[in-house]
Structure 1
Amino acid sequence: MFGDLKYPKGFTAFDYVNPEAPVGGQINMTAPSWTYNQNPQTFNTFNSFILKGDAPPRMERCFDSLMVRAFDEPDAVYGLVAESALVSDDGNFVTFKIRPEARFHDGSILNAEDVAFSLNTLKEKGHPYISQSIQEMVSATAPDEHTVTVAFSGNHSRQLPLLIATLPIFSKDYYTRYNFEASTLTPPLSSGPYTVGRYEIGRYIEYRKVEDYWANDLPVNKGHYNFEIIRFDFFRERQATFEAFKKGTLTFHEEFSSKTWATEYNFPAFTEGRVIKREFAIGLPSGAQGWFLNTRRDKFSDPRVREALGYAFDFEWSNAALFYDQYIRTQSYFENSEMKAVGLPSDAELALLAPYRDDLPEAVFGEAITQPVSNGSGQDRTLLREASLLLREAGYFRRGEQLIGPDGNQLVMEFLSSSPTFERIVLPYVKNLSLLGIEASFRVVDPAQFQKRVNDFDFDIVGHRFSLTPTLGSTIQNLWTSEAAETFGSYNLSGIRLPAVDDLVEKAINASSRQEMVTAARALDRVLRAGYYWVPQWFKASHTVALWDMFGIPTDMPAYDFPVETTWWVDTEKAARIGK
């Protein structure tokens, strides 16, 4: 998006891979991340690119795209199905030339008609995270078998053509016979490096490497896709996942429990050295993780109420008593990046914020909002008193042990979750809320129901983590804009509807330089933080992983991704040494 590409024409492989890595073997894991309609705890469909159903993570590995990311650059893409891309002088058209050797897994040709069909279908029928992000794509046409022209509105972001280039490509012929919008357990025809192998619904899925994959020898694929089988297992409970790893059923495990990381790696395979722990630095923004408050519900419509709820969460106590001091408090939607707002706004930020001064809280124009720091007791009376004052200003009053709102009813709220793992964290928070007279509860539902309720915005409070890219693009429209607030399945969980946010999102994604983008992001961060749409949680700037010591790992891991499944490999000597 900004500046020159790192890799020149004729490069042979990305710097962060081992081009000589052997191919073979298997990695067994649970999904540490997922996207679209994917569910890490179960699955009931193989259609991952619509809102309906629960798909297994990594279905996207089965599909090729026009271009692919280089993860040692913030946003650059290089040709896969496309052998070239020509951008018009005004930036409103991109013409892709399709490699004539591109093939689907049944041997049929992947041509320009398939690409055009895919892009138009995703805009019309795709998951909201895709369809809402590509609205400024006007059309995709195929003037001949090997040429695709994508037209944009002129109001599109600089990032949109890059996003378009990385979307999955479907077979037009296949989807004239099958309904694209159907939830189905028939593995679809695809063209990528993997295909669906063995599976048992809701228990496991194996992705099997395609032996005669047409693009094996392209520079963007050298050193990639080294596992013969990538297997994902599904568990409802965190402890069951950990027990499976201890036994060696899982061979790779990203650890998200600070308690487990600190106290439970004492099992025989670890003490014998067959299992090891590693930490890998994260170069991406750490992710906006928190409890998101659904402002579509009247009880959360007043920002004073939302701010008060933040005073009741004692992070300092939680970090010491529950997290073994492994975390840092999240303050920003852009934590661990230069886009985080700090201190007073700069002149450039003020220029962006000035048109909305009458509509924004004065706090936006002062020091960036930070979360209160407790005394670490777990029940900081000073902070709870601040919360009570804010609630009183919002029209609430005490009736005995109950906090009564302007509607005459007690303030009642439910934390929705798909896993009991967070119960030990939420229950102390619930206790503090009860001291304010609020009746709060923690409810665990099955993964499919959880996803349905989140998609339908049928919740009070839900915990979530958004991963952001170092260069902002159209996808952030799905997180904070007014249109996304009204779109079922969007990630605007809080229901944020502010003209200032809509405008700053557009300025961030349409920036003509990285500095302009950073300035807009910082201004946006100030507005979002001053709205108290969430209770921020915590972060650490590293991946904490445990693995059976059987893998080869590239010397240089890229700054902008953690591509374990695509760039690691099985080291047969190591595997033999530990009996794998």
Structure 2
Amino acid sequence: MQMDWTRRDLGKLSVGAGMAALLPPALPRRAAAEDTVIAHGVSAFGDLKYPAGFERFAYATPGAPIGGTFSTGYGGITFDSVNGFVIKGNPAIGLSITYDTLMVRADDEPDAVYGLIAESIEYPADRSWAAFALRPEARFRDGSPVTAEDVKFSFDVLLEKGHPQYAVLLNGVTGATVEGERRIRFDFAPDTPKRDMPMTVASLPVLQKAWFETRDFAEATLEPIMTSGPYEIDAAALSPGRSITYRRRADYWGWDVPAMRGFWHFDAIRFEYFRDRSAQFEAFKAGSFSFNEEFWSKLWATGYDFPAVNRGDILRSELPDERPAGTQGYWFNLRREKFQDPRVRQAIAETFDFEWSNRTLFFDLYTRTDSFFEGGPMQAEGKPTPEELAVLEPLADILPPGVLDDPAYVPPVTDGSGRNRRNLRRAARLLDEAGWKVDGDVRRNAAGEPLEIEFLSDSPSFDRITIPYTEQLQRIGVKATARRVDAAQYKRREDDYDFDIIVDRKGMSSTPGVELRAYFHSASAEAKGTQNLSGVSDPAVDALIEVITKAENRETLTAAVRALDRVLRAMHIWIPQWSKAKHTLAYWDIYGVPDPATKPKYNRGVIDRWWFDAEKAARFGDKFTG
């Protein structure tokens, strides 16, 4: 499950997507010598909500008391590194609050970003380059200034030694040039889509060049990296695989930057790790940590009838989630020969009985996901519109069958009884057509090989969902099994694409763009450790991503994304699962909570906006003082 612990999910490089379109002339000022835009922020297609010189974001909580600890827990995962920029190791949660970027996004706009380390951005009309002027007050935690040399080093080392995702997302950047102590310029390849590129480089983490002169950037480490953000790792409290604590920096240079003003009120933020989710939940009930976002419907429906809740010591809350729901599902590994025929993938997918699972396991709290852009205006519906056809028809010769003429694919619905007979018969026919014939109680291909598939997971919570699913598949002759491994082995196998089917959730931006290359483009299909888990490598998909990243207005973008949605759904690269348009939260009553009406539309708005209420916490003694 994806969790957005920080307002700035900087570890994934792209702050939203498609954020670098021209600004309206009323906002930026023009450079005198050439036709460029110089501004305090940028957005994709419209005006910026916040003008130059704005005081703070509207959803900030200025004046909230500073102090106390925010603590939460995770079950079934581990960590052995605090270097989240490389493929080695299992990085700890929350590292992004220790470092700054050139610019950060506003969570009440779909795709706008504003200066942090950079006080301004400059770029020409064709966005062939972008330059940033750095704030002179920006400092690393050792007091040394953040310079253009540090920004260039960060770009170079991430491209050379960083996680493979950086190479995918920075593919169109030809280089970074230091043009002064506090000015850095990035140039973009002539043939690369440039709408997203200024914002992609603006979201790069900025690291200290001098610190890495005596350290190997590519290695996992438990030594806190020299960064410049509002929190730092408490090295004395660091316990690999068990707990990590971040301490608020009173001397943080950026507290008065408008984009940071009124956020981050906790003296400490602690993440606790547990062997599984059951142990995590029991620890929450006992007060070992104080905040829990509940992702499991059974627990939310039946697990919160215990004394602390009944006394009112633990409160429950549901906040609306207005973001696109994303793409959670079981993902096929198309690198495996047995999954090459889309009829095989469709048959396996249609065997999943969501309606039974929702009724029996989820207490009807979820809705079925149909689309890769579920829950937003970019979800394809019915037959293609004229605008979508204008995008699709030039690709007619390489599209999956039916995309131009049929409604967008929707998984079949069952009666929820668990019998699922109609879907099983349909799935069996598809497998027959694909050459997987029943031989006794097993399906085999022409070479006599059995159709065997393994669902890989590191979470016992998924067993109750996946095991009944494998039993359904076995009824039509598929040798399906569910295998659970520890978190370290799971990460290795995920990075190496050593799996048949795996669970994953991809968050989708309100303005899709360059991040789609990491999810679905052929450029990311084979590089180790990318987010293209299925290994999608398709010319039609590549072409549509190109159209999306070049879209010059939201109408064109929407049509192109809907077209991509149709194609991906017709390819059957995943088994869509479920979503819910709300955050389900439980927490010990020790927090100051802003008015829900002030929640930003595009984020949960908890960890950076809430605060510790010492008066509320006092009734629990010293339980929550650490």
Give TM-score, length-normalised by structure 1: 0.97
In the alignment, what sits opposite 1:412?
A: 452
In the alignment, what sits opposite 1:236?
A: 275
In the alignment, what sits opposite 2:52?
A: 9
| Pairwise CA distance, 1:357 | 1.7
| 1:539 aligned onto 2:593 | no
The 3-state SS of whatever aligns with 1:6 is coil
Distance 1:127 1:89 in 2: 31
| Pairwise CA distance, 1:508 | 1.0
| Alignment counterpart, residue 42 of structure 1, candidates 56, 59, 78 | 78
CA RMSD of aligned residues (A): 1.3
Distance 1:406 1:333 in 2: 34
Distance 2:314 2:246 in 1: 24
| Alignment counterpart, residue 254 of structure 2, candidates 215, 226, 248 | 215
Distance 2:567 2:435 in 1: 24
In structure 2, list runs of 5 or more residues that go unmatched: 1-43
| Pairwise CA distance, 1:120 | 2.1
| Pairwise CA distance, 1:190 | 0.9
In the alignment, what sits opposite 1:127?
A: 163
| Alignment counterpart, residue 66 of structure 2, candidates 16, 23, 40 | 23
Conserved 8 A contact 2:74-2:280: no
In the alignment, what sits opposite 2:491?
A: 451
| Alignment counterpart, residue 77 of structure 1, candidates 101, 113, 118 | 113
Amino acid at match of 1:516: T
In the alignment, what sits opposite 1:143?
A: 179
In the alignment, what sits opposite 2:136?
A: 100
Distance 1:316 1:157 in 2: 43
- Deviation by residue 1:30-86 (Cα, 9 ceiling, x = unmatched): 359xxxxxxx71111111011111100111111111111110011111111111111
In structure 1, list runs of 5 or more residues that go unmatched: 33-39
Give TM-score, length-normalised by structure 2: 0.90
Conserved 8 A contact 1:125-1:131: no
- Deviation by residue 1:367-407 (Cα, 9 ceiling, x = unmatched): 01000101212121111010111000001111111111233
| Pairwise CA distance, 1:420 | 1.1
Conserved 8 A contact 2:122-2:130: yes
Distance 2:620 2:320 in 1: 27
The 3-state SS of whatever aligns with 2:600 is coil
In the alignment, what sits opposite 2:4?
A: none
In the alignment, what sits opposite 2:196?
A: 159
| Pairwise CA distance, 1:491 | 1.1
In the alignment, what sits opposite 2:10?
A: none
The 3-state SS of whatever aligns with 1:364 is coil
Conserved 8 A contact 1:160-1:473: no
In the alignment, what sits opposite 2:208?
A: 171
Amino acid at match of 1:67: M
| 1:576 aligned onto 2:618 | yes
| 1:183 aligned onto 2:206 | no
The 3-state SS of whatever aligns with 1:108 is coil
The 3-state SS of whatever aligns with 1:565 is coil
The 3-state SS of whatever aligns with 2:266 is coil
Distance 1:100 1:268 in 2: 54
Runs (4+) off by over 3 Å: 577-580
Conserved 8 A contact 1:157-1:474: no
| Alignment counterpart, residue 549 of structure 2, candidates 489, 509, 512 | 509
- Deviation by residue 1:536-569 (Cα, 9 ceiling, x = unmatched): 0000011111111111222211011123221211
Distance 2:130 2:343 in 1: 48
Conserved 8 A contact 1:46-1:185: yes
Amino acid at match of 1:295: L
Amino acid at match of 1:18: T
Distance 1:157 1:456 in 2: 31
In the alignment, what sits opposite 2:602?
A: 560
Distance 1:361 1:96 in 2: 43
Amino acid at match of 2:193: H
**Count of matched residue pairs:** 573
Distance 1:216 1:487 in 2: 39
Conserved 8 A contact 2:74-2:277: no
In the alignment, what sits opposite 1:255?
A: 294
Distance 2:107 2:59 in 1: 8
Distance 2:224 2:565 in 1: 41
Q: 1:144 to 1:92 in 2, by over 3 A?
A: same
| Pairwise CA distance, 1:156 | 3.0
Conserved 8 A contact 1:140-1:148: yes
The share of aligned pairs that are identical, in percent, is: 46
| Alignment counterpart, residue 483 of structure 1, candidates 520, 523, 526 | 523
Amino acid at match of 2:259: V
Conserved 8 A contact 1:277-1:544: yes
| Pairwise CA distance, 1:578 | 4.8
Conserved 8 A contact 2:128-2:194: no
- Deviation by residue 1:461-484 (Cα, 9 ceiling, x = unmatched): 001111111111211101001111
Amino acid at match of 1:249: S
In the alignment, what sits opposite 2:430?
A: 390
| 1:66 aligned onto 2:109 | no
Conserved 8 A contact 1:356-1:500: yes
